[in-house]
Structure 1
Amino acid sequence: MPAVAVVTLVIAALIIAAAALGLIRVILHLRAVAGTLDGVIAGVGVVADRTALVPDGLASVNASLKPVRDFCETI
């Protein structure tokens, strides 16, 4: 095999190895980002749960406070 062909194969192998290394690094970064996004999504879910509307028990509290409201309206 001529020396030019060997040099060409070595250079092609180096280019392919560099591209593969770059793609592996991209994959690792994307996996890290996906993990972070999972944490953010979980945090947003917790915030949404903690800031949800007042539960249905509020109607019974309002019913219990009706006499107070009626008295305040007479003043």
Structure 2
Amino acid sequence: MPAAAWVTLAIAALIILFAAVGLLRVVLHLAHVRKTLGLVLGGVRLVAVRTAPVPGALESVNADLKPVRDFCESV
């Protein structure tokens, strides 16, 4: 093969190598972003659970405080 063919193959191999390395970096960055978004989503779910309304407990607390409310109204 002539020297021009070898140079063409070498340049093509370098271009493919750099493209592959660039794509690998993109994949690694996306994996990191996915992990970070998973942690953020977990935090958001935890906040949603901790700030959920408490209607069941509220009725029992109101029932327990009824004598106190009646006493305060009588004063």
Superposition TM-score tier, normalisation by shorter sequence: 0.7 to 0.9
* Structure ranking higher in helix proportion: 2
TM-score normalised to structure 1 length: 0.86
**1:35, CA displacement in angstroms?**
0.8
TM-superposed CA distance for 1:14, in Å, is 0.2
Q: Are positions 1:30 and 2:14 aligned together?
A: no
SS of structure 2 residue aligned to 1:23: helix
What residue number does 1:19 align with? 19
Instruction: Give the total of aligned pairs.
Output: 75
Listed as ranges, the gaps of 5+ residues in structure 1 are: none
> What runs of 5+ residues in structure 2 fail to find an aligned partner?
none
- Who is 1:68 aligned against? 68
Identical amino acids, percent of aligned pairs: 65
TM-score (normalised: structure 2): 0.86
Please tell me the root mean square deviation across aligned C-alpha atoms, in Å. Answer: 1.4
